[in-house]
Each structure stands twice: as structure tokens, then as C-alpha cells.
Amino acid sequence: MTDLLTAARAEALFSSDLATGTEPTPAEIAAAIRRSIRSHGGSRGCACALAGAFGDRPETAVPRMRWALRLVRAVYPRTTPVATRTRTDRRAER
């Protein structure tokens, strides 16, 4: 499952200037996401660019989104919020 922040980051990376298939560093990924959000006028602009790419070129958009999601998930791993951890999770941390 993808949370909203992961999705927004992946949309921004998708609409960035990085080439699909590259293996950028975490710093390069973060910088590309920031540039993309600025150049597209925010996360909504990135989502619009993503939608346009899927409408115009779905055959290249699908692999690019997979690439973007993979990189975002690697650089920004999802954590479980403290409030939703179960008693078993807290016992395992001790």
C-alpha cells in the first residue's frame, strides 16, 4: 500500500529531470523531487504531469512510475506511527 506522502514524492520524481533507470543517490533524489515540485507549481502540478504522461505515453509511463516508486520507497522507508503500534510491536522493541 502506498501512503499519500510516498505517492506525492513518487509523482514528483516521475515528473523530474532524472532519467528512468538511473540509480541516483538519496541526495540526488531529494533534490530532483524539490526541483520538480518547484517547476510544476507544487505537488498538484506534478500529479498533472504524471496524468498527462499516462494519457500520452502509457507504455513509457508505467515503467517510469515503477522506477520512481522503487526509489522513493528505498530512500523514504515507511515507518509505523507510534500511536498505531500494537502491544506486540512495543514488546519487540525492548
Mean pLDDT of 53-77: 95
What would the pLDDT profile of 17-48 be if each residue is shown by its tens digit? 999 999 999 999 999 999 999 999 999 999 99
Residue type, 44: R
Contact 64, 11 (CB under 8 A): no
The predicted model scores a pTM of 0.80
Cα–Cα distances (Å) from 24 to 17, 33, 72, in that order, read 12, 12, 11
The pLDDT-based confidence of 51 (bands split at 50, 70, 90) is: very high
Residue type, 92: A
Mean of the per-residue pLDDT values for the chain? 88
Residue type, 50: L
Q: 87 or 70, which is more confident?
A: 70
The pLDDT-based confidence of 78 (bands split at 50, 70, 90) is: confident
Mean pLDDT of 5-10: 96
pLDDT for 52? 95
